[in-house]
Chains A and B, each alone.
Chain A
Amino acid sequence: MELLVRVGAVMAAFLVLPLVIGQAEHKVMAHMQGRVGPMYAGAFHGWAQLVADGVKFVQKEDITPRAADRTVFRLAPIVALFPYLIVILTLPLGPDLVAQSLDIGLFLVLAVLGIGVVAVLMSAWASANKYSLLGGVRGAAQLLGYELPLVLAAASVAMAAGTLSLPGIVEAWRPWWLIWQAPAALVFFIAGLAEIRRPPFDMPIADSELVFGYMTEYTGLRFAFFLLAEYVGIVVIAGLTTVLFLGGWHGPFAEQLGWLWTLLKVAALSFVIIWFRVTYPRLREDQLQRLCWLILVPVSLAQLVITVAVKSLL
């Protein structure tokens, strides 16, 4: 019974949060660009726009290109979505408020996020389209590269907390870690953005040159799955940054309002992610790799040294 409640709660979060983020993206982007965004669907400020979009996607024809590898083509969107579902399962909302507490939750999260690359390569190759393949190869190079600073930054905070359990890390977190772990937090957030291929790191999708990268041939519900994966990805990266670096449920009245603090921090970070999309132009492929290997990796390695030094002084 309790298990059912937990799974149900995770499924609800999995379905509702992306919609909220998606709607926020419509509205925030619109207002930043001097527009109003969706206004009519659902009457009040277009709140039902994404529901309408969902209905539209369901009605569209599900097309598989003739030259495509059908099985792999059809499986790819599910493989893209699946890792994020597992990650949401392990994110703690408040003290004792987590769907599945694990001894090495951080490790599981990082391992499972790595599966996303397989989905990109699957969809890219199976589409039998040169634009898709180019986008997929770019995407794989990007994901493989940025996984390194992501893991190193997460390792830093795990070393500081002395545990790999996500609730354990939040438990050990102190406000002054905001300064101590600041470089790692920045690296993690930026590398996380690249991991979910959000602008300015959307070179694999690059609509002006690759049509829509590895998603070019997808239609209807399968395309909606990829979109959903992108929005869940925002939740996951914002959630992980919150849990690892911003102290999760810590805040006034953490005992009662812990979950609210977590959600607020996640919402604020999601806003920043949307803000990035409106602010920065897309990084060129060479700039993207340069940022990863010449800036993020050295910074995260230096952060590891700082973490060890401070930790041994304490």
Chain B
Amino acid sequence: MTVADVLLLALGTVAVGSGALVVTSAHLVRSGLYLVVSLGAIAGLYLVLGAELVAWVQVLVYVGAVVVLLLFAVMLTRAPIGPSADLDRPALPAVLIGGGLGAGLAVLFADAFRWVRYPEADPGTAERVGEQIFGAWVLPFEVISILLLSALVGAIVLSRPDVGARPTPEA
């Protein structure tokens, strides 16, 4: 095993372990914080694999923004310290679906890649990612940006009752 292998295993363990804690912990806010650890470990995995840009995007977008919004929303509604007894989390279907999906993916990946050895890819520098996105993949990139733009417009319209809303009838 090389250093990279050990790092991948360690980070993978952290990511999976904290991911499991996210769904099993009875502490509501701590679940969110475990999610930070899990996503951070995944960023570490990208880093070990040489995808520097993707790793920092992961930190910037997921750790710095998505999870924070999540925690923010939880704290605005209900964020007790200590375990919550009334969390509605049906365990059996979750185990079935999660376990089945995990096993299926594992089998699929093992079957697809077991006999293939790939040469180590070049490091994913910003320059290479930029060339790929704005060269080969420019159409999907633009489509995604239109999707994001429409989601943005939708969010603004939804949050502003004075735009496009029907006047409420007087009682």
Closest Cβ of chain A to B98, distance in Å, is 26
Question: Which single member of A103, A133, A144 contacts B75 (CB below 8 Å)?
Answer: A133
* Alpha-carbon distance A128/B79, docked complex (angstroms): 10
For residue A136, CB closer than 8 A to chain B, the reply is yes
B75 x A111 contact (CB < 8 A): no
- Fill in one digit per residue for B29-73: 1 if any A CB lies within 8 Å of its CB, else 0: 110010010000000000000001100110110011101110110
Given the interface contacts A68-B81, A125-B79, does A115 sit within 8 Å of B72 by beta carbon? no
Residues in A with CB closer than 8 Å to B57 are 107, 111
* Alpha-carbon distance A111/B33, docked complex (angstroms): 17
Residues in B with CB closer than 8 Å to A108 are 56
Residues in B with CB closer than 8 Å to A141 are 72
Question: Which single member of A68, A121, A122, A126 contacts B72 (CB below 8 Å)?
Answer: A121
Question: Which single member of B29, B60, B67, B72 contacts A107 (CB below 8 Å)?
Answer: B60
Closest Cβ of chain B to A168, distance in Å, is 11
Residue of B nearest to A69 (CB): B81
For residue B157, CB closer than 8 A to chain A, the reply is no
Number of residues from B at the complex interface, CB < 8 A: 26
A107 x B126 contact (CB < 8 A): yes
For residue B161, CB closer than 8 A to chain A, the reply is no
B75 x A104 contact (CB < 8 A): no
Residue of B nearest to A73 (CB): B81
For residue B135, CB closer than 8 A to chain A, the reply is no
Within 8 A of B (CB), among A106-132: 107-108, 110-115, 117-118, 121-122, 124-126, 128
For residue A81, CB closer than 8 A to chain B, the reply is no
Residue of A nearest to B68 (CB): A117
Residues in A with CB closer than 8 Å to B53 are 104, 107
For residue B169, CB closer than 8 A to chain A, the reply is no
A114 x B75 contact (CB < 8 A): no
A107 x B68 contact (CB < 8 A): no
Residues in A with CB closer than 8 Å to B125 are 103-104
Which applies to chain A's interface (DSSP): helix, strand, loop or mixed?
helix
Residue with the highest number of chain A CB atoms closer than 10 Å, among B52, B65, B68, B126: B68
* Alpha-carbon distance A197/B59, docked complex (angstroms): 21
Within 8 A of B (CB), among A54-84: 67-69, 72
Question: Which single member of B64, B72, B82 contacts A111 (CB below 8 Å)?
Answer: B64
Question: Which single member of B30, B33, B75 contacts A136 (CB below 8 Å)?
Answer: B75
Residue of B nearest to A141 (CB): B72
Given the interface contacts A118-B36, A137-B76, A144-B69, does A104 sit within 8 Å of B126 by beta carbon? yes
- Fill in one digit per residue for A156-191: 1 if any B CB lies within 8 Å of its CB, else 0: 000000001000000000000000000000000000
B29 x A104 contact (CB < 8 A): no
For residue A238, CB closer than 8 A to chain B, the reply is no
For residue A140, CB closer than 8 A to chain B, the reply is yes
Residues in A with CB closer than 8 Å to B65 are 114, 144, 147
* Alpha-carbon distance A122/B53, docked complex (angstroms): 27
28 A-B pairs (CB sep. < 8 Å):
A68-B81, A69-B27, A69-B29, A69-B82, A72-B33, A102-B52, A103-B52, A103-B125, A104-B53, A104-B125, A107-B60, A107-B126, A108-B56, A111-B56, A111-B57, A111-B59, A113-B64, A114-B59, A117-B64, A118-B68, A121-B68, A125-B81, A133-B75, A136-B75, A140-B68, A140-B71, A141-B72, A144-B65
